[in-house]
Amino acid sequence: MPITRLAAGAAALALTAIAGVAAAQDYSLPAVSGSARLNAGFDPDPYRVSVTPGGSIEAQSAVSSSCRGYISNAPDFELTYSAGNWPLIIKVQASADTTLVINGPNGEWYCDDDSGEGTNPLVRFGNPQSGTYDIWIGTYSGGLSSGTLLITELD
């Protein structure tokens, strides 16, 4: 019995630690800039959404040490995607230095700072999964900005 209690206690502690890593990012909240359902081969491509990047939560401490920028609690956009034989590319165009934080259908976190043009972020899923992608768009130095979220299958 003591071993069972110890194992149960360790399991509860592990779940708390995992949940605590991204507790500030609540993908169950409605996305600030809306949502879309897209199927592979969608048109028009790219799909565009006006967004307000930024927030007060430091992504590096809230999500992962590999994430950058300041994001909000709720996602900026929620994409439900039915995958096909195309890559899925999520990127931002903005005049400010922006970042991306994405919670994929597999529950994993994906982050980028400057893989797009200039100081814009880009995350490319070469073999995307079908499901929900919760997307946070941050600003590198904090504060709010304006920009466009682009979802495309074209490289």
Asked if pLDDT for residue 2 goes beyond 90, the answer is: no
pLDDT at 18: 29
pLDDT digits (tens, 9 = 90+) for 112-129: 999 999 999 999 999 999
**What whole-number distance in Å separates Cα of residue 87 and Cα of residue 97?**
25
Tell me how far apart the alpha carbons of residues 104 and 101 are, in angstroms, rounded to a whole number: 10
As a whole number of angstroms, the distance between CA 7 and CA 1 comes to 10
How far apart, in whole angstroms, are the C-alpha atoms of residue 45 and residue 24? 32
Helix H or strand E segment including 61: helix 59-62
Would you give the DSSP letter of residue 153? S
Contact 53, 96 (CB under 8 A): yes
Lowest mean pLDDT among 6-20, 51-65, 114-128: 6-20
CATH architecture of 2-152: Sandwich (2.60)
| CA dist., res. 155 & res. 8, Å (int) | 48
pLDDT band at 24 (very low <50, low <70, confident <90, very high): low
